[in-house]
Amino acid sequence: MRITEEQIKLVNGRIKALIEADNFYGKRLKAAGVNEISTVEEFEKLPFSEKADLRDAYPLGLMTAKESDIVRIHSSSGTTGKPVIIPYTAKDVDDWAIMFKRCYEIAGITNMDRIHITPGYGLWTAGIGFQNGAEKLGAMAIPMGPGNTEKQLQMMQDMKSTVLCSTSSYALLLTEEVEKRGIKDKIFLKKGIIGSERWSDKMKKTISEGLGISLYDIYGLTEIYGPGIGISCDENTGMHYFDDYIYIEIINPVTGENLPDGEWGEVVITTLVKEGAPLIRYRTHDLSRIVPGSCPCGCEFPRLDTIMGRTDDMMKIKGVNVFPSQIEEILQKFPEVSSEYQIRISHLDGKDTMRIYVETNGTVDFLELAKRIADRVKSVIGFTPLVKVVEEGVLPRSEKKTKRVIDERYDEV
């Protein structure tokens, strides 16, 4: 999916604005002597932008439009160091809502739906993105925000919510609560729009069957509007993204070279019309691929495959490169275990150790199951982990992102 002439024209508009604003990317373009581009090759030679560049611009160094045109800021959570502040113009806010409305439509949601929104409202982009999209569509938004599961379930029943917007871990928690209370027949949900983290097919099945809903993966990141720049459809063949607003390329995360459609690599995004804080060739560190060909659903927008993880999730254990998704795939083959797991890596007696915690119900032989899982991991990855089987419900569930990999090697130094 190489950049089109039309998209190049839009990029040139952003290049001009960035040079005028003289921010980090404008300076980079000037240093490279670039005023505009005219070919795919020239585009692919433009410098990348990185999260660190955005952090260095704190607080308002990314602002590219006039301050009088900025109507709002959002901020990424910033777990390490300074946060990133993204300014939005009124047009940016509206463009985002238009994309989000499209997402709801691709999922078959209409203005007769009642949309129950559990992601947080505030500095980050989640809740308000779901809200503006719902209003743009003309549906009824129920702006719950996170937490207070008791109240969530009460409102869900009283308001007869038809669409659940949440993270996968919170959807799982709600599913378990609905089952525990035996209130499935009082829940009117039909669809779930689930965002912000990678989740297994097993977890999908648990939620989808537990709540009796169809599920859709929504994609987005604060640096690029927020959630709502792409969504999966009923065919479940990747997420349609809106190439009139963003251009996506896939690169080799080590060499930075562009990869052809169908090959897995790092997702790099260019905003084509964003005014407040345009980004060119922004490295997301998300791992995915462009799905080749067209979707049987008939939607013409191109597709990005499910996010398989982060390029920085790669763990080096005993000299072997391991992705958490590989472990997850192995665990999915065991029907006895739940969708929850935890990986702990530590350095004991001079060697790396990987411990895998999995949950099961009480009806199987824990030791025998642990051995079978350890053997399977050894046959795929090449070394034997320590597998601990625990009772279902013991591993932590979270309303936000569940941390599944804990690397203790670096805490000990």
Asked whether the CA dihedral 180, 183, 184, 187 is positive or negative, the reply is negative
What is the rounded CA–CA span in Å between residue 180 and residue 176?
6
Of 281, 299, 293, 244, nearest to 95 by C-alpha is 244
**Residue 82 structure tokens:** 């300074």
Which residues does 327 contact at the CB level (< 8 Å), separation at least 6?
A: 341, 343, 356, 377, 381
Tell the smallest beta-carbon distance from residue 295 to Zn ion (Å). Answer: 3
Q: Which is nearer to Zn ion, 272 or 295 (CB)?
A: 295
Tell the smallest beta-carbon distance from residue 262 to Zn ion (Å). Answer: 17
Q: Which is nearer to Zn ion, 25 or 301 (CB)?
A: 301
Tell the smallest beta-carbon distance from residue 263 to Zn ion (Å). Answer: 21
Q: Which is nearer to Zn ion, 26 or 108 (CB)?
A: 108
Of 231, 223, 247, nearest to 194 by C-alpha is 231
Q: Which is nearer to Zn ion, 75 or 237 (CB)?
A: 237
**Residue 142 structure tokens:** 């129920």
What is the rounded CA–CA span in Å between residue 91 and residue 401?
30
Q: Which is nearer to Zn ion, 119 or 195 (CB)?
A: 195
Tell the smallest beta-carbon distance from residue 300 to Zn ion (Å). Answer: 9
Tell the smallest beta-carbon distance from residue 288 to Zn ion (Å). Answer: 16
Q: Which is nearer to Zn ion, 283 or 289 (CB)?
A: 289
Provide the terminal-to-terminal Cα distance of the chain, rounded to the nearest Å. 45
Which residues does 31 contact at the CB level (< 8 Å), separation at least 6?
A: none
Q: Which is nearer to Zn ion, 98 or 297 (CB)?
A: 297
**Residue 116 structure tokens:** 């129950």
Of 113, 351, 132, nearest to 220 by C-alpha is 132
Q: Which is nearer to Zn ion, 147 or 262 (CB)?
A: 262
Tell the smallest beta-carbon distance from residue 304 to Zn ion (Å). Answer: 12
Angle made by CA atoms 71, 72, 75, in degrees to the nearest 5: 160
At residue 261, what are phi and psi to the nearest 5 degrees? Answer: -55, 140
Of 246, 270, 220, 274, nearest to 63 by C-alpha is 274
Binding site residues, Zn ion, CB under 5 A: 233, 235, 295, 297, 299
Tell the smallest beta-carbon distance from residue 348 to Zn ion (Å). Answer: 48
Tell the smallest beta-carbon distance from residue 297 to Zn ion (Å). Answer: 3
What is the rounded CA–CA span in Å between residue 57 and residue 233?
37
Tell the smallest beta-carbon distance from residue 213 to Zn ion (Å). Answer: 18
Q: Which is nearer to Zn ion, 1 or 159 (CB)?
A: 1
Give Cα 109 to chain centroid, integer Å: 21
What is the rounded CA–CA span in Å between residue 104 and residue 117?
13
